[in-house]
Amino acid sequence: MVAKKVKIKTSGISKSPILDQLSDALLTKDALHGQTFLKSIDVDNIEIDPEQPRVDKPSKELIEKIRDGELELSALDENVREEIEEIIRLAQSIKKHGQLQSILVTPSVNGIHRLTNGERRWLAHIYLSLKSINATIKPDQGVLDKLTKQIADNIHRKDLTLRDTVSMCRRLKELHLLEHGREITAKDFEEILDIKKTTSYKYLAVSEESKQLDMLLIKVKYSL
């Protein structure tokens, strides 16, 4: 079934909270039936997907510090500090130019949307103390499809650690086998993630189980 994309106007202040709640309920119902919507949603009604393939994803404690403005960059781990600096730069861009690209979330469950794509944009909004964020609400298209979107969103990060790269590649390999009944190839990596052929062979290599690589992950963190 082809998802129907409908843009919802969100400008202005609603005169009726009841109508707002009814609208949200209808959007959730339609999204669960395969339709896709663009809507402004509450920043606080979003959670990070617990199945996010990145190992070094922001902790709840760090998110609260961003929310409360209690960040001390000098006290953070180097990789976390670099991540926060990227979020701050993105926040400055959003403050100047506005949000240029919506985040991707699943339909709300008990009022909470699960974040599929756009973690940095969401955290930048929290850093700026913004109340709402433009989001595309799309039903979950399956674990492999969701993982592919999340990896594609993360794979070109300059600060991506080897540990995260290995975690994502191994997870993709595992799900690809379950979905297609065969081992993933370098060509699959190239097509799924839209990466160069030479890079696809690197990702295929790190997706293989290796005691030497696992020991290296324990000792150091660096980009692939």
Task: For the chain, list residues with pLDDT below 70.
Answer: 1-36, 53-57, 140-141, 143, 158-159, 210-224
Quick one: tokens of 40?
């402004």
- What is the predicted pLDDT for the residue at 110? 82
Q: Output the CA angle 87-88-90, nearest 5 degrees.
A: 65
pLDDT at res. 96 = 92
What CA–CA distance (Å, rounded) separates 102 from 137?
10
Q: Which pLDDT does position 152 carry in this prediction?
A: 76
| Report field, pTM of the whole predicted structure over 0.75 | no
Reduce the DSSP state of residue 141 to 3 states and report it. coil
pLDDT at 217: 61
Which tokens hold the place of 149?
A: 């979107």
pLDDT (0 to 100) of residue 44: 93
**pLDDT at 32 (0 to 100):** 43
Q: How many CA atoms lie within 13 A of 192 on its CB side?
A: 24
